[in-house]
Amino acid sequence: MLRAIKFIFILVCFFILTFTLPAVAMKEFKVSQYDGGHQIWFEAESFDDRSPNKNYKLGIAEKALKPAEGAFGDIVTNTGGDGWLLYRFDISKAGGKSGKWRFIGRIINPVNASDWLWVLGDDGNEIPEVAPAFVRPDDIIFENDTPDWAWVKDGDFGLDGGTINKLQDGENVMMIWYRGSDLTDQYDVFVWADDPLYQPTDEDYIKAEQKKNLSIHPASNLTTTWGKIKNSRD
């Protein structure tokens, strides 16, 4: 009886917290309007979520890999195995609107150990829990030999690959899914640009306007969290 009362108490507290307290995440990013277009920039380590196995790790903070000289802060690398990174970004903060945008990364990738890119709305209407059926070259990114820091704007040896996507007004969600990345990869800074011909530079990133965004999202892991509570009862 006591155990049942305790369980009910925990359950009530859970629902109160879930539906009255939003999930709040603070995120820094940069915006710019170079060459008459709109760009939104964020560092690779500023992901909003990642796969439970944490195959993608921070170079400095998690001691996965020492960043190459010239990195802007920390980097992200793949320590092994399948998984994903998830980023939320709001193109309206850069003055941008829905339409075709190009994804570009400042990376090191000496042996073209590439990954897949998935974008909510363009590639599917629900955030996937398992890897989608990706197709080369449509979804591939960073399939290049990039031995030193470079802003890579093509996806598959000169082809757009997965770099061109239709973004929605306001907030967008992108996911990087494992394809072949490993410890040879270093992801430093990402940028979305509504001008497909725009070529970023380090100076552009440095001069871009710094922003802070207080994003509020409703709890999205109700089923998962409820499962954990239920299991704790058993």
For the whole prediction, is pTM greater than 0.95?
Answer: no
Give the residue from 202, 129, 203, 190 showing the smallest Cα distance to 162: 190
Give the residue from 112, 130, 128 showing the smallest Cα distance to 184: 112
- Give helix then strand counts, H and E, for the chain: 3, 14
Question: Would the pLDDT of 170 be above 50?
Answer: yes
Tell me the pLDDT tens digit for each residue of 55-112: 999 999 999 999 999 999 999 999 999 999 999 999 999 999 999 999 999 999 999 9
